[in-house]
Amino acid sequence: MENDKPSGLIMIFGATGDLANRKLFPSIYRLFQKGKLNKFAVVGVARRPLTNEQFQENVKESLSDIAGGQDHAEEFASHFYYHSHDVTSSESYIQLKDIAGKLDAQYGLLGNRIFYLAMAPEFFGTIAEQIKAQGLSDTAGYKRLVIEKPFGHSFESAKELNEKIRTAFSEEEIYRIDHYLGKEMVQNIEVIRFSNAIFEPLWNSRYISNIQVTSSETLGVEERGRYYENSGALRDMVQNHLLQMVALLAMEPPIRLTDDEVRSEKVRALRSLRPVAKDEVKNYFVRGQYGPGSAGGKELPAYRDEHNVDSVSNTETFVAGKLLIDNFRWAGVPFYIRTGKRLEAKSTAIVVQFKDIPMNLYYGAEQVLNPNLLVIHIQPDEGITLHLNAKKAGKDIETTPITLTVSNNSIDRINTPEAYEKLLFDSMRGDATNFTHWDEVALSWKFVDSISEAWETEKDSSFPNYPSGSKGPECASELLKKDGHFWWPIEKLETGG
């Protein structure tokens, strides 16, 4: 791993797109503002014809919502250069190589290069092959390819894409972004588990009843209808974000906190996932699609009425599932996951529900003890809440639920690095811990492929089966009810709720 003040040339393919403007430019700026970059330059690459000056104006405009975003904005933007580019043209890559060589010399970047692909995934393989063929990766320093999701559409398509990319970059040079892994509280899962003696000894089937991972959104598909029609919630959220969180929750303690060891344990956890056969999918997974509804006094359209969506679409906008991990630690403990659009609240949280105590001494007083819960709040709030039982004030021994809460919102939210800032910095430092290895991608796709194949061959006649602005389809509650469990209400997952 390189030092904590790295140097390098960042080439952003898709530099006029939404991701670059909303996330990447502001993230690089924060690193610059905090003095975390030594020497750097950025080449924006896209089809649109722009001059360097026009591109630099776009960069400065992207900083308008950042606190102190105009501080040294001119100096920052002066490090940005633009290349109008045809991804299929060899000549265009030769020109880009010439630009990179000049910037290496001008800024003293030692030949270090990050190739960031912030564009449509169908171009990933072509760009990687051209980078290799035209000598852009022939450099004295490091070379790294940073790729956004989706990484393929199925296991077979992901494998084909990976083989193309591997002709130009080794696995150690490929950084597959899952922006959830850059979130502060997702990274906190390891710390909560492995640095607290009160949790790790209890982190197993003897003490844990079930674990619930929820990622709900209030927004619909907005302008992403065409993409979503080919993806759905299963491929868009479960295959990557949710399974990554499950892997972090379920993995064994690594020998050391190095990228190789952490990712090796995540792979072992994903290998232990019980496969779901196509004829068994209905027993483990349910799906939903939002219909019309209302929220905040505003009428909301059905998914099938959204732009670029088929009027009889069978695409799921909600998924809930029960995962079982067949190893010694987790035998018999269900991991429940759910994700959906147009739900009543925006919340990503993990609930670890501990088993009831063997004997409730307070039954005689007709008291029902609440289960102990550890809640990890990921977004929009960040924090940890521990739900306990304590004595109610007074002479009688009566219990009352209490919560112990730590919230980043009230402590150091202002200093919490945004996910892309953290991941960009890690890619320049050579720390791949919070990026997904090919083995993780492959295992995740193999797991969800049988589910998507079952759903694609069987049209769901109940769609739409939940109104916009609701808790989701009733079938999601039935999934847990069969096991004697229930979903912890989304509104109670908020910090201190």
Angle at 482 between CA 481 and CA 483, to 5 degrees: 90
Cβ neighbour number for residue 409 with a 10 Å cutoff: 15
Task: Identify whether 241 is a catalytic site residue.
Answer: yes
Alpha carbon distances (Å) from 133 to 93, 97, 126, 136, 332:
9, 11, 10, 8, 51
Cβ neighbour number for residue 370 with a 10 Å cutoff: 14
Packing angle between helix 438-456 and helix 259-271, nearest 10 degrees?
A: 30
Task: Name the catalytic one among 241, 377, 387, 437.
Answer: 241
3-class SS at 352? strand
Q: Which of 400, 412, 378 is nearest to 493 (CA)?
A: 378
CA torsion 336-342-344-348 (nearest 10°) is 40
| Eight-state DSSP code of residue 230 | T
SS (H, E, C) 129-183: HHHHHCCCCCCCCCEEEEECCCCCCCHHHHHHHHHHHCCCCCHHHEEECCHHHHC
Question: What positions carry a catalytic annotation?
Answer: 241
